């Protein structure tokens, strides 16, 4: 059933007001295929909506929103070293992570508590604490929006990059992700050196560390630094960490001896965007009903009643200021809709 003038406030984690000209849901591939043949879907802009956790509605969406409600998680194969776990795209990401931990499928534990649905995980190549989707990805199934054909994409075909994939570039808006299959380890290879994981594990007094311990450490860290979208509207990290030539980083060091960086290759480094924003004085900036989170400068927040236009304008001001002060142009990680 297609409805008209549907409020989207409860469908985006920023909690900003917006409405869709048309709105519907699908819970099977057959329902999706039928919808894609519907005149309203064919003749209007389309937006496939999952958890609404990586988008900002800057205005109403003058098209049709198709809410992905595909469900199901199953182990489809195993070999000597790996389990292959297939999840429908509409599943909640964190619930999939916890399902895998409970079954001792290793590899996802560093990605606990990331908001959103499974379908967005390969689209964005989500990552945290030293692990990205490309590290555990096996394949995905997607339906073409024009002819309804279903195709399997391999790791190589997804062309993953830093918060990038083929679905954000060459094949943008051409496919609807139906399911994702992950290759997970039978024998855990723990990644605990990134961020504050080891420090948190020490606080937890854990010996013989398990994937469950790592997940609990990540959950504790994220909970202490990041606002809960159910309480304070946000979309997590708003900006990507910029990759810059070493010469640019060295220029920053002349004024900031403690400037952090992560080597990428012989000529480039990644500089934490949150550090840049904090140095520029934006951390904790309160503009009434919206602003910059006081514990994590990467996170823009809606305290209640803010519009998408206001939050977008704030992000633009931050980008301009960082460019002026550091010569680095930040790129938004969150998708602008409208």
Q: Which residues are catalytic?
A: 163, 237, 333
Contact indicator for 45, 63 with CB cutoff of 8 Å:
yes
Unique residue bearing structure tokens 């390969």: 122
Strands 3-7 vs 19-26: parallel, antiparallel or unpaired:
antiparallel
Q: Within a 13 Å sphere around the CA of 166, how many CA atoms are in the beta-carbon half?
A: 15
Q: How far apart are CA 116 and CA 36, in angstroms?
A: 23
Q: How far apart are CA 225 and CA 165, in angstroms?
A: 27
Q: What is the dihedral of CA 321, 315, 120, 7, to 10 degrees?
A: 180
Please list, in sequence order, all residues whose beta carbon lies within 8 angstroms of the beta carbon of residue 119, skipping any fewer than 6 positions away: 48, 50, 68, 70, 89, 90, 177, 178, 180
């Amino acid at each position: 059933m297609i409805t008209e003038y549907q409020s989207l406030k409860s469908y985006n984690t920023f909690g900003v007001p917006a409405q869709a000209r048309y709105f519907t849901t699908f819970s099977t591939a057959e329902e999706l295929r039928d919808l894609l043949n519907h005149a309203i879907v064919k003749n209007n802009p389309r937006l496939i909506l999952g958890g609404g956790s990586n988008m900002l509605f800057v205005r109403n969406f003058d098209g049709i929103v198709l809410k992905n409600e595909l469900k199901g998680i199953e182990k489809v194969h195993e070999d000597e070293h790996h389990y292959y776990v297939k999840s429908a795209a509409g599943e909640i990401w964190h619930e999939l992570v916890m399902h895998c931990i409970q079954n001792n499928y290793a590899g996802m534990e560093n990605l606990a508590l990331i908001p959103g649905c499974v379908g967005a995980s390969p689209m964005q190549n989500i990552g945290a604490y030293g692990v990205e989707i490309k590290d555990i990805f096996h394949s995905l199934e997607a339906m073409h929006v024009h002819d309804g054909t279903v195709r399997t994409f391999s790791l190589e075909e997804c062309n993953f990059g830093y918060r990038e994939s083929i679905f954000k570039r060459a094949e943008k808006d051409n496919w609807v992700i139906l399911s994702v299959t992950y290759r997970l380890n039978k024998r855990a290879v723990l990644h605990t050196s990134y961020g504050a994981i080891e420090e948190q594990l020490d606080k937890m007094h854990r010996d013989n560390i398990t994937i469950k311990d790592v997940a609990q450490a990540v959950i504790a860290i994220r909970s202490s630094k990041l606002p809960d979208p159910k309480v304070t509207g946000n979309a997590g990290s708003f900006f990507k960490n910029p990759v810059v030539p070493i010469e640019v980083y060295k220029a920053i060091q002349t004024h900031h001896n403690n400037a952090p960086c992560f080597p990428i290759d012989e000529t480039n480094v990644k500089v934490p965007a949150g550090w840049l924003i904090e140095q520029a004085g934006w951390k904790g900036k309160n503009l009434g009903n919206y602003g910059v989170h006081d514990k994590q400068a990467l996170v823009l927040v809606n305290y209640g009643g803010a519009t998408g236009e206001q939050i977008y304008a704030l992000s633009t001001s931050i980008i301009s200021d960082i460019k002026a002060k550091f010569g680095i142009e930040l790129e938004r990680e969150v998708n602008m809709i409208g």
